[in-house]
Amino acid sequence: MNRFRSFLIAAAALFATALVLTVRDPHAVTTMPEPGVEIPEPAPVAASAPVEAPAPPPAPPSWFELKPGSDLSFILTGTVPSEETKSALLASTRSAAPELVKLHEKIEVNPAVASPPWIAALPDLIGTLVAGVQEPELRIERALARVGGISGDKEALSEIRGRFEALFADHAKREDGLRYDVARPTPETRMPLVLYLGPLEGKYSFEGSLPTAGQRKAVREAAVAAVGEARFADHLRVSPGTVDEAWLAILPDFIQGLLDEKNGAMELIIVDRTVTLKGDVPDEAAKKKLLELLAPAREAGYAVVDGMNVKG
């Protein structure tokens, strides 16, 4: 009896084991490998490479250009990183240029542009260049630096060239257009003579620049003697950067003759090495006298344009 019970217990255990295996994976199909056949190892799964973030684009470069205009002016263009930089460039140019030179400024401010090492020293170089040469030129880009100008002063050219080479030593391309010309005057006489004398609101207004205080004083006294203090508006300036022509010595006498009370409203215009006279004179003799007074100007290479009318 005990032996039969033991048999039942063993049979029940075997049945339970088979039932568990069937429930675990009722659809599983077990394929036994054939003898002598090796089962290959599964291929390793490669780890994904990290994706690098794209590098930010480089900042656009700063650039600057200074060149002379055709109407007694300097043209300044470029893109700089700050208003402070722009103001410094304008102030340096304005302080070194003679009074009659106008600045045509087209500089843009963009905080996104690069701020290269040379930009802080650029105002000093501009001041030296404008004060030292005629027809100053300067253009600075990322890889190009160019300087130009003409002077009869070798020391001034040497100083400018040294500063330029040191400041832009790392530029891939440097162009040196500085020229020595003994026939060109020193920096103090680089600007041409520009004067205007004519009627304005019941007075005679005199505008422009003369190279010395003595010349300005003599011209003013001659004008006041001719028309009186109340009728003379003195807007003349003294600029050592204005050419000192020898024939300016006759200007006081010429002013008195031009503003003679026998004449009508008169104008004197001096620009581009040309002296132009306009207005009404009483007769041919008065006209001839004024033109003869300008003989030294003609001898110095100035053209004289007669725009006067004879009233008689």
> Rounded CA gap, 223 and 229, in Å?
8
Asked whether residue 45 carries a pLDDT value surpassing 80, the answer given is: no
How many angstroms separate the first and last alpha carbons of the chain? Answer: 169
> What does the pLDDT average to over 129-143?
91
Asked whether residue 173 carries a pLDDT value surpassing 80, the answer given is: yes
* Residue-range domain boundaries for the chain: 63-180, 192-310
Asked whether residue 189 carries a pLDDT value surpassing 50, the answer given is: no
The pLDDT assigned to 174 comes to 95
The pLDDT assigned to 147 comes to 97
> Given pLDDT bands bounded at 50, 70 and 90, which one contains residue 221?
very high
Q: Quick one: what percent of the chain has pLDDT higher than 90?
A: 56
The pLDDT assigned to 269 comes to 95
Instruction: Check for a shared fold between 63-180 and 192-310.
Output: yes
> Given pLDDT bands bounded at 50, 70 and 90, which one contains residue 96?
confident
> What does the pLDDT average to over 127-152?
91
> What does the pLDDT average to over 209-232?
91
Asked whether residue 211 carries a pLDDT value surpassing 90, the answer given is: no
The pLDDT assigned to 188 comes to 46
Look at 61-70, 97-106, 193-202 and tell me which has the smallest mean pLDDT.
97-106
The pLDDT assigned to 17 comes to 54
Asked whether residue 191 carries a pLDDT value surpassing 80, the answer given is: no
Does the domain at 192-310 match CATH 3.20.19.10? Answer given as: no
Q: How far is CA 68 from the centre of its chain?
A: 11
Look at 17-26, 181-190, 297-306 and tell me which has the smallest mean pLDDT.
17-26
Type of residue found at 244: D
* pLDDT greater at residue 122 or residue 134: 122
Cα–Cα separations (whole angstroms), residue 301 to 215, 253, 289: 21, 20, 20
Asked whether residue 12 carries a pLDDT value surpassing 90, the answer given is: no
CATH topology of domain 63-180: hypothetical protein tt1634 (3.40.1520)
The pLDDT assigned to 9 comes to 62
